[in-house]
Chains A and B, each alone.
Chain A
Amino acid sequence: MPDDNRVATREAEWSRWMAAAQDGDRAAYERLLREILPFLRGLAGRYHRTADQREDVVQDILLTLHRVRHTYDPARPFSHWLATLASRRSIDALRRRGRTERVEVFDELAYETFSDPAANREMSARDEAPGLHSAIATLPEGQRQALELLKLRELSLAEASQLSGKSVSALKVNMHRALKALRARLKGD
């Protein structure tokens, strides 16, 4: 069977390279690590769906292989040694992820969402600051406009000046007064 032959040749080659690597042959080691990458990616892919998780595990396997490379016995099949090590590390990564996901929530749109509901309430209470909107509403027209343009719409001074027809220095003064007034009012609440 040609297929069996190919597997046997590959096995012998890997085993020889690993033995050479143990003796300090860096070129053989690098060739071996590159050669086994598809095998490792395939194996890690069985446990991990997304590409970056899989790649993380592959790197972890490579580091482990490096650390325990003295335990390989060239008289025994290399792929078995490698596969045991790789599945062990893949499963370890699964467990680690399980532990992380129990306490952390990932949500791109709401990155400050915590899995503990009480923490969310505390954070949103700080964000919403119910008094803030009514405090802004009571500001004099000039100050309110400066705040709106510069802070809420995040325009530059030049843009805000163009839009409102006021000078840059007038905007600066109004902005400064608006913040001072808001600070005083919110502290008083």
Chain B
Amino acid sequence: MPLSTDLLIARLAASAAPVRRLRPPLLRAAFWLAGVAAVAAVVVPLYGDFALFDRRMQDAKFVIELAGTLLTGIAAVIAAFQLSVPDRSPAWAWLPVPPLILWLAASGYNCWRDWIAVGDHGWRLGESAACFATIVGFSIPLGATLLFFLARAKPLAPMPVAALGGLGVAGLAAFFLDFNHPIDASFLDLGWHVAAVGLVIGCTALAGRWRDAANAQAGRPSER
């Protein structure tokens, strides 16, 4: 016998220091989102082009896309916080799906319209690469703080939590990007966005997996 369960219980009990209880996940998500909103209120006016933004707001498709990105971001962040604790329903993972469909549909429609209007010029590289950089640039600080918050719960299954967190961060980054985005998305834009979102989700999921491996090692008692 490597270590009797009886002895293990005695050791665990002996080492049970008081812990600070985690607040309900919805509250923690709200807290993080409020922090992001506060920072955005300072940062967005610095780079945003509001004349352009107002003009684009006349277009219903743009408004739908904008709402889609923001709602996807918020929903995915809430879902990530819910799934980070053990006893919440896995169904929370579906929460960001409806706004995500809205986002993809709206930007897909914009792409198609852009293609009809501009033709093959939409396939040029340049502007869209800058968008890619913006999304990734926003995502890194957002993702790092979110991951820090989520890791507090030491999730049992870090991969889906990190992937949802990544989607949330990518949605919010796309939302902030729209405050200075001169053109409607082209197909290439959409490609860049999908690539950027995929990259962010992939990185956070990998970070989650790495944490999991570290935890698994730390969790083993040294006697075995």
Residues of A within 8 A of B (CB): 21-24, 26-27, 29-30, 33-34, 37, 55, 58-59, 62-64, 66-74, 76, 80-81, 84-85, 88-89
Contact = CB atoms under 8 A, between A and B. Distances in A.
A68 B8 CA distance: 16
A33 B13 contact: yes
B18 A23 contact: yes
Interface stretch (B124-132, B151-159, B175-183, B195-203): B151-159
Contacts of A55: 5
Interface string B7-19: 0111011101111
Given A22-B21, A24-B17, A85-B156, 14 more contacts: A29-B16, A37-B5, A37-B9, A59-B3, A63-B219, A63-B220, A66-B12, A68-B86, A68-B156, A69-B16, A70-B20, A73-B21, A84-B87, A85-B86
Interface string B191-224: 0000000000000000000000001000111000
A29 B12 CA distance: 9
A69 B10 contact: no
A76 B13 contact: no
A70 B19 contact: yes
Contacts of A71: 22, 85-86, 153-154
Interface of B: 3, 5, 8-10, 12-14, 16-22, 24, 85-87, 153-154, 156-157, 215, 219-221
B85 to A, nearest CB: 4
A84 B21 CA distance: 19
Q: Which 9 residue pairs are nearest across A and B when measured between Cβ atoms?
A: A24-B18, A30-B13, A70-B19, A81-B87, A71-B85, A33-B9, A85-B86, A29-B16, A84-B86
Contacts of A85: 86-87, 156
A89 B212 CA distance: 13
A26 B22 CA distance: 20
A8 B8 CA distance: 28
B12 A80 contact: no
A40 to B, nearest CB: 9
Contact of A64 (B16, B219, B221): B219
A58 B5 contact: yes
Contacts of A89: 156
A34 B3 CA distance: 16
A33 B6 CA distance: 10
B224 to A, nearest CB: 9
A10 to B, nearest CB: 17
A55 B87 CA distance: 23
Contact of B16 (A37, A66, A74, A84): A66
A186 B85 CA distance: 66
10 contacts: A22-B18, A22-B21, A23-B18, A29-B16, A63-B12, A69-B16, A73-B21, A73-B22, A80-B87, A88-B86
B8 A59 contact: yes
A29 B21 contact: no
A80 to B, nearest CB: 5
Contact of A69 (B19, B87, B221): B19
Contacts of B9: 30, 33-34, 37, 62
Contact of B5 (A24, A59, A80): A59
B5 A26 contact: no
A189 B5 CA distance: 56
B165 to A, nearest CB: 17
A71 to B, nearest CB: 4
A59 B2 CA distance: 11
Contacts of A30: 9-10, 13
